[in-house]
Amino acid sequence: MTITWTPVLVSRLKELRLAGTPYAECAEILGNELGKPISYDQISMAARRYRLTNLLEKDALAITYQPTTLPMDDYAICSDVHAPFHSELWVNRFLMMADLFRVKKAIMVGDLLDCQFASKWYSEDSVGLDKEIDSVRSLFNVLGSAFEKIYWCRGNHENRIGMMTDGAVQLRHLGRSFAGELWDKKISYSRYDKFFVGDDWMLVHPKSYRQAVISVARELAAKYLRNIINTHGHFVGSGYDKSGRFQCYDLGGLFDVSKVDYAQLNTTTHPAWGNGFGILRAGKLWHFTENDDWDYWAKGFDEGRALHLTFAPVRNREKGD
């Protein structure tokens, strides 16, 4: 089939070749864009004609990194569960609010597992891998019952496994041992430490840490130009970046600090840990912390789930559901 090399098509070929795209890949990309096949030879002839031959092409073995972007949707968001050192109260509050808001997708922003068995820090009370697996099964059972899909990104505690094994074994290799059949059916695990959600939100378990609440979130907002839900520090706070444009949150976690040995046996000047989680609904974040009126929210269960009507889609309310 004859190809007419219009200025637009030549410009596109130059763009691909300057990016190191091989002839075969150029043929596939341009063929898809034009809606008709282009052969390797046609690309090769055009490259000679427009002096695009002696250019460096991509290294076939090189990895290109691209973090996951989730579509804008309603999500229940938590982090720093540190199972099996989680708080049953806060996990249940998280499940309760996801149910009240009728949210069926969850995002776990790192440190869902503590992975104490792989810690480089000495502990007299280490539970060991077998007990750690057994202890988190009930947690995964309730998560699997509550959510249709669970997105889970790596935190520094999940990273302990790779550090202990010099990279030979990662959490993704052991995920099925912890989560059972949920690992294949409902869990999507990312080895990145972040998720982008839509165009406006970044949920991250960063390597950076500071003792000043939301200071890391503010700097990340200035760098990525998004609203930031920050974790890892175990702090609770909210505000805006310096520009006043972007929301910044320190989410808090679902841990039970009284179960964490290094937090109880060692004395530091670090701020107190705070429990919290979020519900991202219709592009807005509801940030739940210890300061919320939990008696009020519990009435959604105690009084015939009356609060359900508040969060039901408009079309259901019009039908009287």
Characterize the bridge pairing of strands 149-153 and 105-109. Answer: parallel
Task: Give tens-digit pLDDT for 40-61.
Answer: 999 999 999 999 999 999 988 8
Nearest 5°: the CA angle 265, 253, 151 is: 130
Select the more confidently predicted residue: 131 or 230: 230
Other Cβ atoms within 10 Å of 308 Cβ, number: 16
Residue with tokens 């099964």: 137
Check residues 306 and 197 and name the one with the higher pLDDT. Answer: 197
Q: How far is residue 141's CA from residue 120's CA, in Å, rounded to a whole number?
A: 29
**What pLDDT does 64 receive?**
84
Interaxial angle between packed helices 23-34 and 40-49, expressed in degrees from 0 to 180 and rounded to the nearest 10: 100
Interatomic CA distance for residues 262 and 111, integer angstroms:
16
Q: What is the mean pLDDT of the chain?
A: 90
pTM, two decimal places: 0.84
In this predicted structure, the answer to whether residue 233 has a pLDDT above a threshold of 90 is yes
Q: What is the pLDDT of residue 303?
A: 53
Q: What's residue 235's pLDDT? A: 94
**What is the 3 state secondary structure string of 114-132?**
CCHHHCCCCCCCCCHHHHH
Cβ-Cβ contacts under 8 Å for 74 (sequence gap 6 or more): 101, 102, 103, 104, 105, 279, 280, 281, 282
